[in-house]
Structure 1
Amino acid sequence: MAPQRFREQFAQIQRSMPDVPLAMGPDDTGEFLYEKGVVLARDGEEARLVEDTVREHFTTFAGLDPDRVRRAGPRTNRTGITRIRVADPGEGGAEGDPAVAGALRSLRTLEGRAGRRMVSRNHIVSIAVNACPGDEPVPLPRTAPPNPAPAATPYDAATAVGVLVVDTGLVRDHRDWPLLARTDGDLETDECDEDGVLRQYSGHGTFIAGLVAAVAPNTDVTVRGTLNDAGAILESEFGEKLFEAVDEGGWPDILSLSAGTSNGRTDGLLGVHAFMEELRTRRTLLVAAAGNNGSATPFWPAAYADLPGWQDTVVSVGALRADGAGAACFSNHGPWVRAWAPGERLTGPLTGFTTPVPYVYQHSTYDDCRYGFSYACTCRHPRHSGALSEPAEGPAKADQVMFEGPAQWSGTSFATPVVAGLVASYMTDRREGDPRAAGGRLLAENTGVAEVRGEDVPALLPPTWTPAAADGPGGGE
């Protein structure tokens, strides 16, 4: 049986959030995850209207109990969002939630009159390699050079660009890497499990910070461990966590975010709307990952880059394959993706140098690319068997490797800090103090082009990045 990464990750995330029953959406297709039995609404009078409307709808909707419709918790501070329970989350399986679907349907007429959304699923927001990962990291020798290589720009505290990374935190030995010697922020809560094995996605935030620092050495990088819990968080909590991240050190020049979710809609996420509105009033540029579902469905908050009012505020980033000529097979795509950068088999720091750490692969590779691409993509190479995959002949023994420093890793998660670094580098080189102006001018002046799904797209290629040979792993079609 071919591996099913989305379903494998569903099980993984559910184990990391045992008190939150989850379902797949929309209905039984693997596009996003959400909390069973709960919907979101804006606090106050609107939440009461949603409750009353859903309760009235359930009175005449067979099989659903109107008495179960009630508030499930207080509003989450500045996000102004309330969880409303519409069913017992312990009932039914993971293949969709009829009660939540019914609650959404009940508000359609009112939403049409109001001209805006009033109710939403409570989605799981995850780091962009989580719900459908680009791949898992591959260990390299300690002497392997970073790719992109460090730029020669000197560090100057007076002009350094502030970059905030909201992710999984830093490994404890991150300062053993010269590029990360000045990096501040939160340490990961648990790098390894009880057996001393590196946890899945441990080092994700460290890898991202290393990419920013390599592309743009004149930066002050801070990493917040907002997504330390297997890289996943409820939408109802995510907006407040973003507020907390910027509160701690102030709004940065650039916010690099390799997390999000699709939701089957084209108007954003209810749970982060207050944060996105606040972002518009600030000078911060949000650089956000487009996601790794190989889909054209908008992925939020990256897709805010295509909404009126946010075009100058958000840069959404897709991943190019290792030769830079086209899209990586896993990358989301579409007109809402504003920029493309290398995101396949980048090389950077994963762990410190103190002690080698074992890692057990979670996902098996495929015989063929799961998205139909013909090049030697990360779906197929390098070959390994994963602990979460069960072939037809029964569970296979998962492959184990040792990490003692650098790694190769792929995903829009990593194309994103490359673009964040390029914007920061532009600010330094042009003495531009406005990060949004720098982002806009970088895209306007860029001459790099790649082909994605038959369309030419802007390709931002760092000068110190080395592409793979066209006929090598990750190379051309």
Structure 2
Amino acid sequence: MAPQRFREQYDQIQRSMPDVPLAIGPDDAGEFLYEKGVVLARDGEEARLVEDTVRQHFTTFAGLTADHVRRTGPETNRSGITRIQVADPGQGDGSGDPAVAGALRALREPEGRTGRRLVSRNHVVSIAVNACPGDEPVPVEAGAQPNPAVADGAYAPDGAVGVLVIDTGLMNDYRSYPLLAHTRGDAQVEECGDDGILRQYCGHGTFIAGLVAAVAPNTDITVRGTLNDAGAILESEFGEKLFEAVDQDGWPDILSLSAGTSNGRTDGLLGVDAFMRELRQQRTLLVACAGNNSSASPFWPAAYADLPGFENAVLSVGALRGDGEFGACFSNHGAWVKAYAPGERLTSALTGFDTPVPYVYQHSTYEACRYGFGYACTCRHPRHTGVLSEEGGSGKPDQVMFEGLAQWSGTSFATPVAVGMVAAHMTARAETDPRAARQQLMDANSELAEVRGATVPALIPATWRPTPVALPSART
């Protein structure tokens, strides 16, 4: 049975958010997930306009009445977003939501009058959309070294570059990895299930912190467990959580974000709009992953890098395959992706430094690349059978043991490589402005790669070791 990766992840994220009925959009096309029966609007007059407009139009929907339309939860918050219920979320299945689609249509005319969007779906922001992130982690041989390897330089607290990672929390034994001895942050919630098996996406934040520290040893890294719940959070909550993180830790030099969502639009994500406008006024550089859908659709917040006013504030990062010459099969792409970094089979800290920890694969590999590439990509290798792909089938899920380091792929991990390169540049040049460092790094960079026929900037650390890959087919 061929795996249906997006559907498998939909089921898994839905189980992690049992009180939030989800739908697949747009129209079951498998591009993003969103909360059923709910739309988002800005607080105040706009929310009231949305509520009134949708209520006036609801006589056109069979089985629904104006009583379905009501604001839910607190009306005001730091992110400036109001949730408006437009239907019973328990109706129907996850293949779409006619009530939400109708609410979006009802607001098209007011949008035209005001010149900006008034309403949005409540998307799921996740580290895992259509891939996991580009694959699942793979154990490495005893004695393996990190890749990228540890760069020259030492940690100096007084001059270290501040990096805030918004992700899953830190594994309980993360300080056993020397590079993370001075890292701080939130603990990973529920590392293992009742069966002692490592939960999916556990170690994601630890892996990212290890990559930053390897490329840029002189960094003060803080990891916040904003995405501990299967790497997913509703858009309506995400903006608020971002504000909470910077309120707790202060605005860092660099904010590393390996999560996001597409939304079928080119004007941003309503739930993080207030945070992004505040970010623009700060000195912080946001480095965000481009996503793993092998798509040109903008993935937010990374795609803010292509919006006017955010050019210097956001760096969007796609993933290169193992040889660094071409884009990885899973990487999103397009003019909104401003740089690419190694993101296939990187080696970093995961978990199990004191005691080996078992992991059971959730997704099966494919017979051929699901995106049509011909090289030995992460879709196919290394071979394993996963729980979600084999429900009701005859395959037995594969179990492995993790102790120390692991290999993992995804734009999730290309992102901290790019973070490390900006931070290392700041240290080497005694540059205190992270946005200036980003521009200097990009201007001085001479490395190039090919992605979908386009020549793109490649940020490749000197300590990264490329891995040979089989020659690709004509599609690269």
Matched, 1:261 2:273: no
1:131 shift after superposition: 6.0
Residue aligning to 1:468: 467
Residue aligning to 1:405: 404
CA contact (8 A) 1:129 1:135 kept: no
CA contact (8 A) 1:446 1:460 kept: yes
- 1:397 maps to a residue whose letter is K
The whole-number CA distance in structure 2 between the counterparts of 1:255 and 1:100 is 33
- 1:401 maps to a residue whose letter is V
Alignment of 1:288-299 (within 5 A): 288-299=288-299
Residue aligning to 1:416: 415
1:45 shift after superposition: 1.3
CA contact (8 A) 1:364 1:386 kept: yes
1:473 shift after superposition: 11
Alignment of 1:133-144 (within 5 A): 133-144=133-144
Residue aligning to 1:176: 176
CA contact (8 A) 1:128 1:289 kept: no
Residue aligning to 2:349: 349
What TM-score results when the alignment is normalised by the length of structure 1? 0.97
Residue aligning to 2:279: 279
Residue aligning to 1:432: 431
The whole-number CA distance in structure 1 between the counterparts of 2:330 and 2:469 is 18
CA contact (8 A) 1:183 1:222 kept: yes
CA contact (8 A) 2:375 2:469 kept: no
The whole-number CA distance in structure 1 between the counterparts of 2:59 and 2:471 is 61
Partner of 1:389, secondary structure, is helix
Residue aligning to 1:66: 66
CA contact (8 A) 2:352 2:402 kept: no
Partner of 2:50, secondary structure, is helix
Unaligned runs of 5+ in 1: none
Residue aligning to 2:320: 320
Partner of 1:397, secondary structure, is coil
Deviations 1:356-399 (A, max 9, x none): 000000000000000000000000000000000038x8242110
1:178 shift after superposition: 0.5
Matched, 1:450 2:467: no
Residue aligning to 2:212: 212
CA contact (8 A) 2:235 2:271 kept: yes
Alignment of 1:68-217 (within 5 A): 68-75=68-75, 77-128=77-128, 133-217=133-217
1:130 shift after superposition: 6.9
Deviations 1:432-456 (A, max 9, x none): 1100010011111100000000000
Partner of 2:406, secondary structure, is strand
1:472 shift after superposition: 8.7
The whole-number CA distance in structure 1 between the counterparts of 2:16 and 2:253 is 33
The whole-number CA distance in structure 2 between the counterparts of 1:202 and 1:473 is 32
Query: Could you tell which deviates more after superposition, 46-55 or 124-133?
Result: 124-133
Change (3 A) 1:176 1:473: farther
- 1:282 maps to a residue whose letter is Q
1:76 shift after superposition: 5.4
The whole-number CA distance in structure 2 between the counterparts of 1:473 and 1:76 is 52
What TM-score results when the alignment is normalised by the length of structure 2? 0.98
- 1:312 maps to a residue whose letter is N
CA contact (8 A) 1:320 1:344 kept: yes
Deviations 1:142-181 (A, max 9, x none): 3110000000112222211000000001000000000000
The whole-number CA distance in structure 2 between the counterparts of 1:66 and 1:332 is 40
Query: Could you tell which deviates more after superposition, 125-134 or 179-188?
Result: 125-134
The whole-number CA distance in structure 2 between the counterparts of 1:129 and 1:378 is 15
The whole-number CA distance in structure 2 between the counterparts of 1:222 and 1:93 is 39
Partner of 1:202, secondary structure, is coil
- 2:248 maps to a residue whose letter is E
Identity %: 75
CA contact (8 A) 2:360 2:397 kept: yes
Residue aligning to 1:304: 304
1:61 shift after superposition: 3.7
Change (3 A) 1:131 1:116: farther
Change (3 A) 1:285 1:307: same
Query: Could you tell which deviates more after superposition, 161-170 or 53-62?
Result: 53-62
Partner of 1:79, secondary structure, is coil
CA contact (8 A) 2:126 2:261 kept: yes
The whole-number CA distance in structure 2 between the counterparts of 1:294 and 1:188 is 29
The whole-number CA distance in structure 1 between the counterparts of 2:348 and 2:133 is 18
1:127 shift after superposition: 1.2
Partner of 1:158, secondary structure, is helix
Deviations 1:178-216 (A, max 9, x none): 000010001101110011100000000000000000000
1:234 shift after superposition: 0.4
The whole-number CA distance in structure 2 between the counterparts of 1:131 and 1:141 is 25
Partner of 2:390, secondary structure, is coil
- 1:58 maps to a residue whose letter is F
Deviations 1:381-422 (A, max 9, x none): 00000000038x824211000001110000000000000000
The whole-number CA distance in structure 1 between the counterparts of 2:308 and 2:426 is 25
